[in-house]
Amino acid sequence: MSIDTRAIETHSTDNRRFKPSPEFSARARIGTLERFNEMYRESLDSPETFYKRETAELVFRKPWSALSEWKPPFAKWFLGAELNASESCLDKHLKTARRDAPAIVWESEPGETRTLTYAELHARVVELAAALRELGAKKGDRIAIYMGMVPEVVVGMLACARIGAPHTVVFGGFAAESLRDRINDCQARFVLTQDGAYRRGGVVPLKATVDQALEATPTVEKVLVYRRLGQALAPITMKPGRDLDWVETTKNAKASLGEAPEIVDAEHPLFILYTSGSTGKPKGVLHTTAGYLTGAHITSKYVFDLRDDDVYFCTADVGWVTGHSYIVYGPLSNGATCLLYEGAPNFPDWGRFWNIIQKHKVTILYTAPTAIRAFIRQGTEWPAKYDLSSLRLLGSVGEPINPEAWMWYHENIGRGRCPIVDTWWQTETGSIMLTTLPGVHATQPGATGFPFFGVEPEVVGADGKAVGKGQGGLLILRRPWPSMLRTVWGDDARYEKQYFSEIPGSYFTGDGANVDADGYYHVVGRIDDVLNVAGHRIGTAEIESALVSHRAVAEAAAVGRPDELKGQALVAFVTLKPGNEPGDAMKKALAEHVAQEIGKFARPDDIRFAEGLPKTRSGKIMRRLLKDVAAGREAQGDISTLEDLNVLAKLRGQDE
Ligand code: WT7
C-alpha cells in the first residue's frame, strides 16, 4: 500500500481542556487519574489479575486455564473457558433486582413506547431459541438478520447467541445484492427479517429485499418474518415451505426447548459482521464469544460509567458494530436500561432526539459527529426547546469530531455540564480502544484520548518506528486484546495481509494519528482506500466495482473529498464506453445503479466524466491526484510519472 501521510499532521489543534466536575468524579466508577493509571498498568503488566477481576460479573460455566495465546497473527483468549454470552446478558439478571427493570425501552418512529424488562427479554429470547431449534438450527449454523430497529432484532441476536449460532446482522440500508453476497459468503441457513420498517414516515420494504436476495442463496432454508407493520402498510408474500411467521412460530414452539443455553468454548464464533476494506469484496469480521463479550462489557461499564438508574441511548443502528457492542452485548451484560429508537433523527422534525431524551429522561447519549453536524445546521432552537437536564454523559463515535461540533455538542446538548467521551475503535477491534474516561481525564475538543485497559497503541512511520510527539503516522496496536477480530471469515490470508503485513507483528488500523505533548491521541482518519461517509465505512473499490458493472462504464475511480456535513463525500470519476452520452441523465442512472448494487447510503455525491483517468506509466490510477481534483486543490506531490498530463488538465476543467 502506498501511504499518503500528508494530511495527518495538519489537523486543527484545539487547546481548550475541560476537567470532569468533582461531583461527576466522586460518583464515577473510576474517579481519579491515579486509579486509572494503576489499572492501566495492571492490565498490561498483570493481565491475568486484571481480567480475572474484571470478568467476575460475566457468567463463565468453566474458568479459563490460560488467559491468552498469541501466535501472530492469530490470538486466542480465555483458553479452555466455557460460557454462553446470552447468560451474561439475560439469565444473570433474573436472580437480581434487575429482573423487573427495563432492559429495552423502545420508541417507535410514530411515537409509541414498548418496554421489555430483563425477565421479558429473556422469555422472548428463550421462545425464539426454541423455535430456531425446532427448525433444526444448531450450534455453528450461521443466521443472517436483516431487520430494523425493533426489540425483536435484539431478541434475534441473543437467541442466535443462545443456541451457539453465529449471527450476521446486515444493515437494513443495504440492497439485495449486498445482502445476497453476505449470506452466500457465510452460507447462512436461516434468515430473520421483518415485513417492513418505518423510516422518515415511509416504509422500508425489508422482506421484499430478502425475497430478491434469496433468489440466489442456495444455503438458506427458512426465513422467520416478524410482522412489524402488517399487510396494509407493508404487503409481503410468504413463500410456502420457506417463510414462517415469527410470532406464530415462536408461540407454537415448546419454550422449554430454548431454556438451556448452548455452552460453547471461549473461542466459539459469536458473530460475523461484514465491513468494507480495500478490495471490492467486504470482509466478514469474525468475533468470538468470551473475548468479545469481555471487551464490550468492560468498556461499557467504565467508558459510559453505566449504572442501574441510567437510561442509556445509543443512536447507532444494530447493523453496525456500535449497535452490537453498545446496544446489545455491552449494556445488557451490565444490566443497563437501553433506549432503542426505531426511526430517523429528523422525524417528524429536528427535535426528535431531544424529545426522546426529555420524555424518557435519558442520562447518557452516544451518537455520531455526522448527526451532530446535521443538528448544527438546523440551529440551536431545536435542542433549546427541550429539557435535557437528565443528561449526565455524552459520547461520540464513528469518525473524527471536529472541535466546532464538539463545542456545539458540549454547549447545546451537554449544557456545559456533561463530559464528552470521544471513542475511537473499529468493527475489527470489537470495543472501544481509545477514549477519555468521564470521571478521570480532562477532555479536549478534537482529541480522542488515551488507550483503554489492555490496549497498547503506537503511532509509527512506514518503517514501524515510533514517530515523535505531535508527528503524524500510522496508528497501530502493539499487542492483541480480548475483543480483537480473530480472522476474516473463510480467509485467513486476507486477515494476515490486511492487518498484520504493514507493520509485521502489530495490528495495523488503517488510520492516521498523532499524539500530542500531553499524550492525547488524535485520530485523523483513514489512510487506506476506505472512506468514512457520514459515519458509514465504504471501500472505494466496492464503489468502483459497482460502477464498472454498469453497461455504459469503461472505467471508474472513487475517492473521498472533505465534506462539512458528512466528514467525507464520495466522488466518482467515470470513463464511459464509446457511444454513451455523459450528462445528468447518465449521472442519475449511475448513482441509482450504485444504490441498487450496494445501498442508497453508498450513492456517490458527485460523478464526473472523464475521457481518461490519470495513470502512472505502469497503469495504476493515481488516486492522490484525483483526491486533489475532487477537493479542488492544486495537485501536490510527484506527478512526474503521470502518463498523460492532459488528462489532469481536463479533469480540472470540470470544476469551472
Ligand atoms: C473507522 C472504523 C467505531 C464504530 C463505528 C465505526 C473511524 C471511529 C472514531 C473516532 C476518529 C474514528 C476510524 C476507524 N473512527 N471512531 N472517535 N475518531 N475516527 O466502525 O465502520 O469499523 O469504522 O471509523 O477511521 O478506523 P467502522
Using CB distances shorter than 6 Å, the residues near ligand 1 are 275, 320-322, 397-400, 422-427, 448, 509-511, 523, 525-526, 532, 537
Q: What CATH number belongs to 110-262? A: 3.40.50.980
What distance in angstroms lies between residue 371's CA and the mean position of ligand 1's atoms?
14
Ligand 1 atom at minimal distance to the Cα of residue 428? 22
Residue type for 645, please? L
- pLDDT confidence tier of residue 174, bands split at 50, 70 and 90: very high
Residue nearest to atom 21 of ligand 1 (CA): 537
Select 546-653's CATH number: 3.90.1300.10, 3.40.50.300, 3.40.50.970, 3.30.300.30.
Answer: 3.30.300.30
Q: Where are the domains of the chain?
A: 1-84+265-271+281-528, 110-262, 546-653
- Over residues 448-461, the pLDDT tens digits come to 999 999 999 999 99
- Ranges 145-149, 461-465, 597-601, 612-616: which has the least confidence: 612-616
Residue nearest to atom 8 of ligand 1 (CA): 398
Ligand 1 atom at minimal distance to the Cα of residue 325? 4
Ligand 1 atom at minimal distance to the Cα of residue 425? 3
Residue nearest to atom 5 of ligand 1 (CA): 398
Q: Is the pLDDT of residue 641 over 90?
A: no
- Over residues 236-258, the pLDDT tens digits come to 999 999 999 999 999 999 999 99
**C-alpha pair distances (Å), 414 with each of 109, 334, 365, 466, 497:** 24, 24, 10, 36, 42
135-157: average pLDDT: 98
Minimal CA–CA distance to 408: which of 437, 377, 439, 436? 377
- Class of the 1-84+265-271+281-528 domain? alpha beta
In angstroms, how far is the first alpha carbon of the chain from the final one? 33
Pick 66 or 281 by higher pLDDT: 66
518 sits in the region (left: phi over 0; alpha: psi -120 to 50; else beta) called alpha
Q: Give the model's pLDDT for residue 655.
A: 47
What distance in angstroms lies between residue 532's CA and the mean position of ligand 1's atoms?
8
What distance in angstroms lies between residue 239's CA and the mean position of ligand 1's atoms?
39
Residue nearest to atom 18 of ligand 1 (CA): 400
Q: Give the model's pLDDT for residue 231.
A: 97
Give the DSSP H or E segment for 373.
helix 369-378
- Over residues 401-429, the pLDDT tens digits come to 999 999 999 999 999 999 999 999 999 99
What distance in angstroms lies between residue 401's CA and the mean position of ligand 1's atoms?
11
Contact in structure between 368 and 537 (CB atoms under 8 Å): no
The whole-chain average pLDDT of the chain stands at 94
102-113: average pLDDT: 98
Q: Give the model's pLDDT for residue 620.
A: 84
Residue nearest to atom 23 of ligand 1 (CA): 426
User: For residues 103 and 93, what is the distance between their CA atoms, to the nearest angstrom?
Assistant: 10
Contact in structure between 435 and 303 (CB atoms under 8 Å): yes
Ligand 1 atom at minimal distance to the Cα of residue 423? 17
- Over residues 313-343, the pLDDT tens digits come to 999 999 999 999 999 999 999 999 999 999 9
Residue nearest to atom 2 of ligand 1 (CA): 426
**Ligand 1 pocket check: which of 425, 432, 436 to mutate, most ligand atoms within 8 Å of Cβ?**
425
Minimal CA–CA distance to 280: which of 15, 529, 456? 529
Report the relative pairing of strands 243-245 and 222-226 from DSSP bridges.
Answer: parallel
Residue nearest to atom 12 of ligand 1 (CA): 399
- pLDDT confidence tier of residue 11, bands split at 50, 70 and 90: very low
What distance in angstroms lies between residue 399's CA and the mean position of ligand 1's atoms?
5
Residue nearest to atom 7 of ligand 1 (CA): 399
User: For residues 510 and 513, what is the distance between their CA atoms, to the nearest angstrom?
Assistant: 10
Judge if 1-84+265-271+281-528 and 110-262 fold alike in CATH terms: yes
Minimal CA–CA distance to 406: which of 354, 353, 444? 444
Ligand 1 atom at minimal distance to the Cα of residue 524? 11
What distance in angstroms lies between residue 398's CA and the mean position of ligand 1's atoms?
4
